[in-house]
């Protein structure tokens, strides 16, 4: 999408129902991971995409939701992206301005507890989607 100043990566889905419209970015992760510094279960996305999605929300006036499928638990989590309290990658490489060693390079993270369980898939239903690393 081309905005006022530059182009933006847009979320995966532009959805509408009963007069309500929203953007949805959907990610599939094996599980939430523990952030050692905050001692919390967290999820995250690439920082550049996070900032693009917030710009898309400002440019279009349509809320952006982040939806995360946790393959191990079968849980679909969701939250409005702009409401999440986030922090940048805290790995040593990012703190020193060198190469990021985190699974999501130059990521933006938030606590899992800020998200709402939207759906729980029956056991085994997501087994064909088994992945070893976060999908980006």
Write down the residue that tokens 């409005």 correspond to: 80
CATH of residue 95's domain is: 3.40.1350
pLDDT band, residue 35 (cuts 50/70/90)? confident
Residue 70 inside a domain? The answer is yes
Residue 43 is assigned to a structural domain of this protein? yes
Please give the model's pTM, rounded to 2 decimal places: 0.83
pLDDT tier at 126, thresholds 50, 70, 90:
confident
- Contact (CB, 8 A) for 133 and 103: yes
Domain residue limits at 115: 13-123
If one counts the domains in the chain, the total is 1
Does any domain span residue 2?
A: no
Residue 49 lies in a domain: yes
Q: Tell whether 8 is covered by a domain.
A: no
């Amino acid at each position: 999408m081309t905005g006022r100043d530059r182009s933006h990566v847009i979320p995966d889905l532009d959805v509408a129902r009963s007069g309500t419209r929203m953007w949805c970015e959907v990610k599939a992760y094996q599980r939430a991971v523990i952030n050692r510094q905050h001692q919390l279960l967290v999820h995250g996305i690439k920082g550049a995409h996070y900032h693009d999605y917030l710009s898309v929300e400002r440019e279009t006036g349509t809320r952006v939701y982040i939806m995360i499928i946790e393959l191990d638990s079968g849980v679909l989590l969701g939250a409005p992206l702009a409401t999440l309290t986030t922090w940048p990658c805290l790995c040593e490489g990012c703190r020193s301005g060198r190469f990021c060693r985190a699974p999501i390079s130059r990521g933006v993270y938030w606590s899992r507890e800020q998200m709402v369980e939207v759906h729980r898939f029956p056991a085994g239903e997501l087994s064909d989607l088994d992945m070893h690393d976060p999908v980006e």
